[in-house]
Every structure is written in structure tokens, then in C-alpha cells.
């Protein structure tokens, strides 16, 4: 997962979930699915950003030098992940905070699409 991939993936997951579940699905179940999805995304993505040891197979498979390198650069950008300081951490935290919005937007669009 990375900052370039996570938002579209969350949107797509939300849209697919909403499209595939009936309109009569309970709000409680939807909230549970959303909470579980966010726990997985935040758990993996924040762990990558913090370079937890267990994420090594993930960032290596992506060809990155570290979890933070993968989260910031995604093999596309050339940000200096080794010198990430307070501004980079603040922007990263803000991006992490948008994750539920992407999932919600996808669920909302999926529900609208399934009614059409």
C-alpha cells in the first residue's frame, strides 16, 4: 500500500462492497465492514510508514528501500524518504486521515450505482 495507491483502492473497495450488497444491508454491518477495512489499511500503511520489521516482505516485493520509501514514493516519486521530518510526517498524517473519506465516497457511489 502507498499514498498513491491507497485512496483509489479504498474508493474501489467501498464501491464494490456497496454495489454487491443489497440496499437493505444494515447500517451496523456497513459500519463494521468499514471499520475492519480501515483497521487493515491503517494497520499495514502506518506500519510501512514506521518501517516495522514485519513489513519488510511487502516493501521488498515492491522494489522499495523501506516501508517509508514505498509509502512516500510508490516507485514513482523521488522524495528523500531518509530525511523525512516534521512537515513530511504532518502531511502523511493528514493523508492517513483522509482514508475513511475515500472508502465512504466509494460506498456512496456504489449504493447510488446499484439503485440505477
83-93 mean pLDDT: 95
pLDDT tens for 75-86 read 888 888 999 999
Q: Which domain holds residue 70?
A: 6-115
Q: What is the pTM of this model?
A: 0.88
Q: What is the pLDDT of residue 114?
A: 60
pLDDT at 116 over 90: no
Number of domains the chain contains: 1
Question: What's the per-residue H, E or C state across 5-63?
Answer: CHHHHHHHHHHHHHHHCCCCCCHHHHHHHHHHHHHHHHHHHHHHHCCCHHHHHHHHHCC
2-31 mean pLDDT: 88
Whether residue 55 lies inside any domain: the answer is: yes
Whether residue 1 lies inside any domain: the answer is: no
Whether residue 61 lies inside any domain: the answer is: yes
Q: What is the pLDDT of residue 115?
A: 63
pLDDT tens for 28-49 read 888 899 999 999 999 999 999 9
Amino acid at each position: 500500500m502507498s499514498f498513491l495507491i491507497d485512496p483509489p483502492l479504498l474508493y474501489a473497495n467501498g464501491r464494490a462492497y456497496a454495489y454487491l450488497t443489497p440496499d437493505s444491508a444494515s447500517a451496523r454491518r456497513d459500519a463494521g465492514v468499514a471499520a475492519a477495512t480501515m483497521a487493515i489499511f491503517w494497520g499495514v500503511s502506518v506500519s510501512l510508514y514506521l518501517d516495522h520489521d514485519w513489513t519488510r516482505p511487502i516493501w521488498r516485493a515492491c522494489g522499495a528501500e523501506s516501508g517509508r520509501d514505498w509509502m512516500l514514493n510508490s516507485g514513482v516519486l523521488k522524495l528523500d524518504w531518509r530525511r523525512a521530518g516534521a512537515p513530511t510526517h504532518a502531511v502523511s498524517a493528514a493523508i492517513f486521515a483522509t482514508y475513511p473519506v475515500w472508502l465512504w465516497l466509494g460506498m456512496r457511489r456504489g449504493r447510488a450505482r446499484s439503485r440505477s
